Amino acid sequence: MFVEFECGGGFKTGVEKGEKRMRLEAMAVTIPHVDGHPNRVAFEGVLTVVNTPSDKAPAGARGHKVTLTLEAAEKALPSLLGMAVDYRPGWDGHDARRKIGILTEADVVGKRLRVRGYLYARDFPEVASAIEAQSPEALGMSYELADARVEDLRADIWKLTRVTFTGAAILLRDKAAYRATSFRMTK
């Protein structure tokens, strides 16, 4: 018997000598519910808006606004699962070394790329308290990418046709490249 991880978001199981294989795909990491878990606080948010130019240039885009295509976002959804959520003190950007949670679900509804996951509230009580102290509309999200493909580097607005998500950040909505993002703990 073997188990093989497949980058497309699923895995295969079966017998090596050509016997039947089964393929499973999912857009969520199933984590069993545990009532009152002290270190797991649920959250949900809008990570970005697809097929829409960003309100401002994200970091790494050399001053260009960007548009993440629906096709690129849908193909990259599996790469979001299991990725970390980070923050930066002051809520004004990314800090990949301050990981405070995990993404467990991702989907595109209309133009919104929605995510869900858990924050490690017991490990980072000061961060959880700071999030709770914000007004409900204050926080947003921002994606982190690798291997992005831009259709035309000379264009004023870069069209992202292929991406790999490597994580997400929680930040003030007015600091996000897309102001239509959101973040809230759901308890």
Each residue's pLDDT tens digit, 11-27: 333 444 454 443 333 46
Tell which residue, 19, 35, 45, has the closest CA to residue 170: 45
Output the pLDDT for position 10. 39
CA distance 9 to 176: 27
**For residue range 29-77, what is the model confidence (pLDDT) as tens digits?**
788 888 999 999 999 999 999 999 999 999 889 999 999 999 999 999 9
Output the pLDDT for position 29. 79
Output the pLDDT for position 33. 83
Three-point CA angle 95, 90, 122, nearest 5°: 70
**Is the entire prediction scored with pTM above 0.85?**
no
Average pLDDT over residues 181-185: 97
**For residue range 93-146, what is the model confidence (pLDDT) as tens digits?**
999 999 999 999 999 999 999 999 999 999 999 999 999 999 889 999 999 999
Output the pLDDT for position 143. 97
**Domains of the chain (ranges plus CATH)?**
1-26 (no CATH), 31-185 (3.20.16)
Output the pLDDT for position 41. 95
* 96 Cβ contact list (under 8 Å, min separation 6): 84, 86, 144, 167
Three-point CA angle 129, 135, 140, nearest 5°: 90
Output the pLDDT for position 30. 82
Output the pLDDT for position 7. 35
